[in-house]
Every structure is written in structure tokens, then in C-alpha cells.
């Protein structure tokens, strides 16, 4: 018998004598079965070790040898290598022993006296082993496929050509609401809605003809009566001859997908409704910054969406040539895939008018993180831009008018001062009784009134003119290093009489260590006179006024006037720094004044690059400090006089 299809056999032989193994090798080789290797084992330990270490195709055992062998070896082999054929070769093999071996799982039994049967037994055993292995692989594959079918979320079912259910997975149970026990062996028609019956029959006719119907979106009926949308693929089941013997179907519940699609459509409709009704318009650009979408609302502002699609924003900008740096920065931002807000540019509208457009946008990326473009909103800001331009022009004109006013007042200096000087001259003659003794007392009273009024009027006009000249930039500072202590002493001596008549005490705190300061001496005198005059006005009898000179820790020189007067509320302090500002009766309006004193002090201080600070509270007095910047303070203190009190 030819067995040439079997080659390269590796045998494990459980035998006591080496010549038995060699004899078996010779018999098989003579039959055309090439024995590649034959391993002999005499003991259980050697047998188990060979099973673990050697890749064998066949196991032979002497059932009748003493010790380990026969059925015991068969049990060990089936436990460790169940797929390897096991043949019993024995010298005293009877029918009873052979049946026992076959029942225990032996592939065959061959008596030693008739080894010519061995080649046939080996060939048959190996073929059966191969068939068993193939069957196990097929079963494993089927089991694996069954597990996949059971674990999938889709409904996987099969029916006969008469539509009787033959399989029903767990996905079908979840999708349709019927258990497998309820459906297997029954007609599947219960899952077809009545209005879909014709469609279902047409599909089954196509499948019976051998066609595969893929991804048909339809509807199915659940056990609870609800109708669900599904996507089905239906295929014919063929036998080995290719005949259609059944129908397999995979159905996927697409309820959530439909809901998501409906939500997306609603969102898109909502977006387009907004886009069509909003005063602004919406836009999108692609990865190369070309417009891919512009809402129709843009047409209401002179922008033709169809003409702009496929173009870049700067291709139709009217200020591209005039403001290249602005556009270069904007394009660089787009290339960096960044968002932007309120980018304003000029646009030539379809009617030829020039529009100002403000755009804002954010970058868009696809699901893989790749840049897809920008999208955003645009609005016409022409009215706002033109209003801003008009406002700036109005402010400029108002500023010019203010300067014109200041120039006018400055030019009126001579015309106003000249007649006032004459009035003062004539009144002085009357007061001096130049015309004689007749009605001298009466003339003297008139003259005194004229003289006082003229001085007051001249002071007002001088303050107005000084402020006007400062605002007009026509005042020139004659700056030289001066000791603030000396100027403070001079003003203290000059105002001492008026302070005494007002019933006030005067003190000085003049730091001799403050070096000379680069100032206009006359301007400093005027500032100090104004501050002391204000202190006299708003300090009641019995109060105190102090003039101070010190140097701040940061190097500035400080000139201050402090009083114990009625004080000022914090919220009212900024008002007093404005020209002509005067507060209400709570601050004692019994004194005359124009409200220019502090404004003039601040203007002169700012002309020196300095500032004015006020520290005050109602009923606690007031301290006004003029601060000269550190760079005006000399580094040499030798010319400053030591003076701690007013002389």
C-alpha cells in the first residue's frame, strides 16, 4: 500500500529494547514513510521529558512491557499532547486489550507479529489527526465568529427562504425587543412595519436571486410598537453548490444618527436664520484665506458675496496701499492660525462708496487637527468711524477756539491795564487832597473806595491774564538757581502784616539742607503769595499758617503752605484745581476771589515740570505743596541759608 504522502515522521517510542525501535523505523521506511527521527523512552520520566522537549508526530507504546507503558502512557500523552496519534504495538495483544486501548483514545492497535499493518495504521492515524485538527480549527473559528456576532451592537439574524428565524443575536434582542427564544423558529414578519411590507418583499426577492443588498435605510417595528430607523445589509446564505438556502441580515439602529443629523440641520438652519436676519454678516475662509462663504446679509451693506467668494480679504480692501503695515501684521496673524477681533479696514462698496468694516474671527481645525481656515463675523462701522472723525475734528476746533480765547486775553493785557493805572493815579490824587481842603473828608472816602476797587479789579485781571498767557504758551520762565528758603522768608515778611490783621500766627519750617532749585523767582513768589492769601482767607482768627521748605526722599524739592482753616472734602479737591472753580457756602464764600489762585499755582508748577498736591479734610486744615522735580535741584547746598524760623 503506497503511503508516499507521509514524510519526515518524528516518532516517540516507549519500548524497553533499542532493537524494537530500529525495527519499527525499518518497517516504516520500507513502506515509504520516511522516519526523520525516532526517540526511545523506557521510563515515565523519560517519556514525559520527551513529550515536553521533542516535537513528535506519532507515539508508539508497548502495552505489555513491565512497568510504565500501555494505557498509563496513553493517559499521559492525551493529557499533554491530545492532538498527537497514539498507537499501541504489543507482542501479546488480544481483542480485550485492543478494545480497552481504543476506548481510552488510542488511534490503533498493531500486534508485533504483524508489523506489516503498522504503515497503514500510521497513515490512517495521521490523516485522522489532521482532520481532527482541521475540525478543531473550524470549530474555534466558528466559536470566534459567534462571539463576534453576539458581542456586536448590530442586530445579526438569519432566516430560511420562508423567513423562519434560525439565529437571533443579543444585538437583535436589544434592537427589536424580542428575545432569541421568542423569535427562533418563528416568522420574522413581526418586525416589518405594514407600510414597509412591499419594500421588504422586493429586497427578499433580490436576495433569493443571489444579490447582496447593502446599507438600505428603512424602518423596523419593535416589540413595544415603536418604529425605529435602521440601516440594513441583507445577503444570501449559499450551500457548497452555491444554491441559496437562507438569508442573513445585519441591521443597525440609526436613531441616534438621525437625531444628530436632525440637530445638525436645526443648528444649521438656526445659524443661517441668524446670518440672514442679523445686521452683521458671517463669513468663512479656507486654509489659504480665500472666502468660501459670505452670508447674504452682506449685500445690504454694499458687499456682493458672489464676487468675493474665492478671493482674499485684502484683494478688495481700499486701504491696502495706504496702510501696508496694518495688512502685513493681519496676514501674519492669519498665517499663524490665530484668532483676531475688531480688525477695521476700508472697503469699496459695489455702489462706489467707501465703507469701514470691522471683522472678528477664529481659526478652524478639522478632526485631525489640520488648519481648515477661519470663520467669523463682520459689521459695517462706517457711521461709528465717521462719528469718531467728526468728534475729533470738533475737539480740535474747540481746542483752537480755546487757544484763540487765551490769545485774545493775552493781547488785551495792555488795553485793560492802561485805564486801570489811570484810575489808580487819579484816585491817589484825590486821596492825597491835591485839590485842597474843600470836602476833603468826603473826597478821601471816595478815593479810598476807588483805590481799593481798582486794586481788586487789577488783581483779578492780572490773574486772568497770567492764566491765559500760560495756556497760550506765551509765558517764558527766567530760570536761575534760587534758594526756596530765601523766597519763603521774603513772602513771610511781605504778608506778615496782613496775617497779623487777620488774627493769625505765622510759622516757618525751612530745611537749610535743601540746595538751590532752578526756578523762575517771580513765578515762585506768585505761587507762594497765592497760597498764603488763600490760607488767610479760609483760616479763622486764632488760627495758624506755616510756610515750609523740605526735600523729599526721592530728591524733589517741596514748597508748602499749611493752615489750620476750615479744610476741604476729598471729593472737592480736584474741582479747586480748575480755573474759576469755587466751592459752596460750606467753605465760607464771604471772601472775594476769582477761583484762579490754585489754577495759577498749578499752571506755574507744571511749567516747571512739577506738580501740586493738596492734603486736607473738613475742620482739619489744608496743606498745599508745590513739588519741583529732582533734576531741578542743585547738587551744591552751599548757597542755601540756614533758616528754621521766619525772620
Q: Where are the alpha helices (DSSP H) in 595-646?
A: 597-607
Q: Is the pLDDT of residue 584 over 70?
A: no
Band the pLDDT of 642: cuts 50, 70, 90.
Answer: very low
Band the pLDDT of 363: cuts 50, 70, 90.
Answer: very high
Band the pLDDT of 526: cuts 50, 70, 90.
Answer: confident
At residue 99, the pLDDT reads 87
Domains of the chain, earliest start first? 9-136 (3.40.50.2300), 153-253 (3.30.450.20), 261-380 (3.30.450.20), 390-471 (1.10.287), 479-632 (3.30.565.10)
Higher confidence at residue 411 or residue 100? Answer: 100
**How would you label 368-386 residue by residue, b for 16+ Cβ within 10 Å and e otherwise?**
eeeebbbebbbbbbbeebe
- d(CA 553, CA 3) in angstroms, rounded, equals 116
- d(CA 26, CA 559) in angstroms, rounded, equals 131
Band the pLDDT of 459: cuts 50, 70, 90.
Answer: low
- d(CA 89, CA 99) in angstroms, rounded, equals 13
At residue 67, the pLDDT reads 61
Q: Is the pLDDT of residue 279 over 50?
A: yes
Higher confidence at residue 280 or residue 517? Answer: 517
Range with lowest mean pLDDT among 71-75, 382-386, 410-414? 410-414
Range with lowest mean pLDDT among 146-150, 197-201, 442-446, 579-583? 579-583
Give per-residue pLDDT as tens, 588-607: 444 444 556 788 888 889 98
Higher confidence at residue 435 or residue 343? Answer: 343
Report the candidate in 527, 406, 526 with the shortest Cα–Cα distance to residue 468.
Answer: 406
At residue 4, the pLDDT reads 41
Element (H, E) at 494: helix 484-501
- d(CA 69, CA 86) in angstroms, rounded, equals 12
Higher confidence at residue 445 or residue 587? Answer: 445
Report the candidate in 216, 207, 215, 206 with the shortest Cα–Cα distance to residue 238.
Answer: 207
At residue 415, the pLDDT reads 47
Range with lowest mean pLDDT among 175-179, 410-414, 428-432, 477-481? 410-414
Q: Is the separation of the CB atoms in 224 and 264 below 8 Å? A: no
At residue 597, the pLDDT reads 72
Residue 382 has phi, psi (to 5 degrees) of -60, -45
Band the pLDDT of 254: cuts 50, 70, 90.
Answer: very high
**How would you label 278-308 residue by residue, b for 16+ Cβ within 10 Å and e otherwise?**
eebbbbbbeeebebeebbebbeebbbebeeb
At residue 1, the pLDDT reads 39
Band the pLDDT of 44: cuts 50, 70, 90.
Answer: confident
Q: Is the pLDDT of residue 401 over 70?
A: no
Give per-residue pLDDT as tens, 531-551: 998 899 889 999 999 999 999
CA–CA–CA angle 411, 412, 414 (5° rounding): 95
Q: Is the pLDDT of residue 7 over 80?
A: no
Pairing of β 213-221 and β 371-380: unpaired
Q: What mean pLDDT comes out for the span 525-536?
A: 90
Band the pLDDT of 2: cuts 50, 70, 90.
Answer: very low
Q: What mean pLDDT comes out for the span 145-154?
A: 72
Give per-residue pLDDT as tens, 17-35: 888 888 888 888 888 888 8
- d(CA 176, CA 219) in angstroms, rounded, equals 11
According to DSSP, residue 641 is labeled P
Contacts of 80 (CB under 8 A, 6+ apart): 48, 51, 52
Give per-residue pLDDT as tens, 601-636: 888 899 899 999 999 899 899 999 999 999 999 886
Q: Is the pLDDT of residue 434 over 80?
A: no
CA 258 to chain centre: 32
Q: What mean pLDDT comes out for the span 302-309?
A: 82
- d(CA 308, CA 188) in angstroms, rounded, equals 58
Residue 158 has phi, psi (to 5 degrees) of -140, 150
Q: Is the pLDDT of residue 452 over 60?
A: no
- d(CA 157, CA 161) in angstroms, rounded, equals 13
Q: Return contacts of 399-406, CB within 8 angstroms, 24+ apart.
A: 402/471, 403/471, 403/472, 405/468, 406/468, 406/469, 406/471, 406/472
At residue 431, the pLDDT reads 64
Amino acid at each position: 500500500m503506497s503511503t508516499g504522502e507521509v514524510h519526515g515522521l518524528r516518532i516517540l517510542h516507549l519500548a524497553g529494547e533499542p532493537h524494537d525501535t530500529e525495527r519499527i523505523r525499518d518497517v516504516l521506511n520500507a513502506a515509504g514513510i520516511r522516519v526523520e527521527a525516532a526517540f526511545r523512552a523506557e521510563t515515565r520520566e523519560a517519556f514525559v521529558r520527551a513529550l515536553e522537549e521533542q516535537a513528535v508526530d506519532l507515539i508508539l507504546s508497548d502495552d505489555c512491557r513491565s512497568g510504565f507503558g500501555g494505557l498509563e502512557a496513553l493517559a499521559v500523552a492525551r493529557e499533554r499532547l491530545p492532538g498527537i496519534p497514539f498507537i499501541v504495538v504489543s507482542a501479546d495483544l488480544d481483542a480485550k486489550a485492543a478494545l480497552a486501548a481504543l476506548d481510552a483514545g488510542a488511534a490503533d492497535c498493531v500486534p508485533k507479529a504483524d508489523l506489516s499493518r503498522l504503515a497503514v495504521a500510521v497513515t490512517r492515524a495521521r490523516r485522522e489527526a489532521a482532520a481532527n485538527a482541521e475540525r478543531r480549527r473550524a470549530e474555534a473559528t466558528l466559536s470566534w465568529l459567534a462571539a463576534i456576532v453576539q458581542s456586536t451592537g448590530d442586530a445579526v439574524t438569519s432566516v430560511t427562504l420562508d423567513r423562519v428565524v434560525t439565529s437571533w443575536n443579543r444585538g437583535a434582542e436589544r434592537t427589536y425587543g424580542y428575545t432569541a427564544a421568542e423569535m427562533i423558529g418563528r416568522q420574522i414578519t413581526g418586525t416589518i412595519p405594514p407600510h414597509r411590507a412591499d419594500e421588504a418583499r422586493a429586497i427578499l426577492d433580490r436576495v433569493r436571486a443571489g444579490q447582496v443588498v447593502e446599507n438600505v435605510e428603512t424602518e423596523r417595528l419593535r416589540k413595544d410598537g415603536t418604529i425605529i430607523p435602521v440601516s440594513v445589509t441583507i445577503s444570501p446564505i449559499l450551500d457548497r453548490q452555491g444554491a441559496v438556502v437562507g438569508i442573513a441580515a445585519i441591521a443597525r439602529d440609526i436613531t441616534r444618527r438621525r437625531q444628530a443629523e436632525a440637530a445638525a440641520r436645526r443648528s444649521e438652519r438656526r445659524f443661517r436664520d441668524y446670518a440672514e436676519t442679523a445686521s452683521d454678516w458671517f463669513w468663512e475662509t479656507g486654509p489659504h484665506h480665500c472666502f468660501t462663504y459670505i452670508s447674504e446679509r452682506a449685500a445690504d451693506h454694499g458687499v456682493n458675496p458672489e464676487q468675493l467668494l474665492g478671493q482674499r480679504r485684502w484683494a478688495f480692501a481700499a486701504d491696502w496701499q495706504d496702510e501696508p503695515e496694518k495688512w502685513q501684521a493681519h496676514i501674519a496673524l492669519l498665517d499663524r492660525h490665530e484668532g483676531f477681533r475688531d480688525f477695521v479696514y476700508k472697503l469699496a462698496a459695489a455702489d462706489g462708496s467707501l465703507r469701514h468694516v470691522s471683522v472678528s474671527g477664529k481659526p478652524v481645525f478639522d478632526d485631525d487637527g489640520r488648519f481648515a481656515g477661519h470663520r467669523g463675523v463682520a459689521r459695517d462701522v462706517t457711521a461709528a468711524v465717521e462719528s469718531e472723525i467728526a468728534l475729533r475734528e470738533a475737539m480740535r476746533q474747540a481746542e483752537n477756539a480755546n487757544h484763540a480765547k487765551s490769545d485774545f486775553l493775552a493781547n488785551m493785557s495792555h488795553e485793560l491795564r492802561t485805564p486801570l493805572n489811570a484810575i489808580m493815579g487819579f484816585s491817589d490824587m484825590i486821596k492825597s487832597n491835591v485839590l485842597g481842603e474843600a470836602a476833603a473828608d468826603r473826597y478821601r472816602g471816595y478815593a479810598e473806595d476807588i483805590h481799593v476797587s481798582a486794586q481788586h479789579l487789577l488783581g483779578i485781571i492780572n490773574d486772568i491774564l497770567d492764566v491765559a498767557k500760560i495756556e497760550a504758551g506765551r509765558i517764558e520762565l527766567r530760570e536761575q538757581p534760587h534758594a526756596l528758603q530765601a523766597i519763603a522768608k521774603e513772602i513771610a515778611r511781605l504778608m506778615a502784616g496782613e496775617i497779623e490783621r487777620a488774627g493769625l500766627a505765622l510759622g516757618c519750617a525751612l530745611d537749610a539742607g535743601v540746595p538751590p532749585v532752578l526756578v523762575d523767582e517771580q513765578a515762585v513768589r506768585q505761587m507762594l503769595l497765592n497760597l498764603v492769601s488763600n490760607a488767610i482767607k479760609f483760616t479763622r482768627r486764632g488760627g495758624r499758617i506755616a510756610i515750609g521748605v523740605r526735600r523729599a526722599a526721592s530728591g524733589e524739592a517741596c514748597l508748602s503752605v499749611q493752615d489750620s482753616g476750615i479744610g476741604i472734602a476729598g471729593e472737592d479737591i480736584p474741582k479747586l484745581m480748575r480755573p474759576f472753580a469755587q466751592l459752596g457756602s460750606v467753605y465760607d464764600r464771604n471772601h472775594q476771589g476769582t477761583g484762579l489762585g490754585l489754577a495759577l499755582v498749578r499752571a506755574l508748577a507744571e511749567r516747571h515740570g512739577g506738580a501740586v498736591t493738596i492734603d486736607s479734610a473738613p475742620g482739619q486744615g489744608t496743606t498745599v505743596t508745590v513739588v519741583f522735580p529732582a533734576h531741578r535741584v542743585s547738587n551744591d547746598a552751599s548757597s542755601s541759608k540756614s533758616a528754621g524760623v521766619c525772620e
